[in-house]
């Protein structure tokens, strides 16, 4: 079980890195004006989203389900329900970032760099803090 938990944490960290970095790429992409930079950002965003973030999300969720169902970690406990709610927010954030990436891909972006600066921190940071506190402290 400790191996599964370890890899769950490793893939979660990699997924979070992408959740923080992709909106930062959007900040720079929204500020870019030359064609070469615009195309470079499209490639970087696509590779990050499909090559790192999405596989890491899938493995994180898969290992988490294995821990939850197979080892019954947190099963029926309040802290786990709260954690799963925050994971749901992160999954929604992940797919929303994918939608924004597609907007950039097809040159349909309607947001400025300030929007992406807020998006870079606001949804992800509280979820990370909340999940870590819930798992370590288990307040309820």
Q: What mean pLDDT, rounded, does the chain reach?
A: 96
Give the list of residues 6+ apart from residue 12 with CB closer than 8 angstroms, or none: 56, 60
C-alpha distance across the termini of the chain, in Å: 23
Q: Is the pLDDT of residue 52 over 80?
A: yes
Q: Are 104 and 26 in contact (CB under 8 A)?
A: yes
CA distance 70 to 1: 9
Number of C-beta neighbours around residue 77 at 10 A: 14
**pLDDT over 90 for what percent of the chain?**
90
**Tens digit of each residue's pLDDT (9 = 90 or more) over 73-132:** 888 899 999 999 999 999 999 999 999 999 999 999 999 999 999 998 887 889 999 999
Q: Are 11 and 56 in contact (CB under 8 A)?
A: yes
Q: Are 48 and 18 in contact (CB under 8 A)?
A: yes
Q: Are 25 and 44 in contact (CB under 8 A)?
A: yes
Q: How far is CA 58 from the centre of its chain?
A: 11
Instruction: Specify the higher pLDDT residue, 24 or 125.
Output: 24
Burial 5-40 (b: 16+ CB within 10 A, else e): eeebeebbebbbebbebbbebbbebbeeeeeeeeee
pLDDT for residue 91? 97
> Which pTM does this prediction carry?
0.94
Average pLDDT over residues 31-42: 98
pLDDT band at 33 (very low <50, low <70, confident <90, very high): very high
């Amino acid at each position: 079980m400790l191996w599964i938990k370890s890899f769950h944490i490793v893939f979660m960290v990699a997924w979070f890195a992408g959740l923080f970095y992709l909106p930062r790429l959007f900040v720079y992409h929204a500020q870019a004006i030359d064609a070469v930079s615009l195309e470079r950002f499209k490639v970087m965003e696509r590779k990050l989203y499909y090559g790192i973030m999405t596989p890491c999300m899938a493995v994180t969720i898969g290992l988490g389900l294995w821990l939850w169902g197979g080892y019954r970690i947190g099963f029926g406990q309040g802290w786990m329900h709260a954690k799963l709610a925050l994971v749901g927010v992160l999954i929604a954030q992940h797919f929303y970032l994918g939608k924004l990436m597609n907007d950039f891909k097809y040159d349909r972006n309607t947001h400025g760099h300030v929007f992406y600066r807020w998006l870079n921190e606001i949804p992800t940071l509280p979820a990370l803090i909340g999940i870590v506190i819930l798992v370590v402290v288990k307040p309820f």
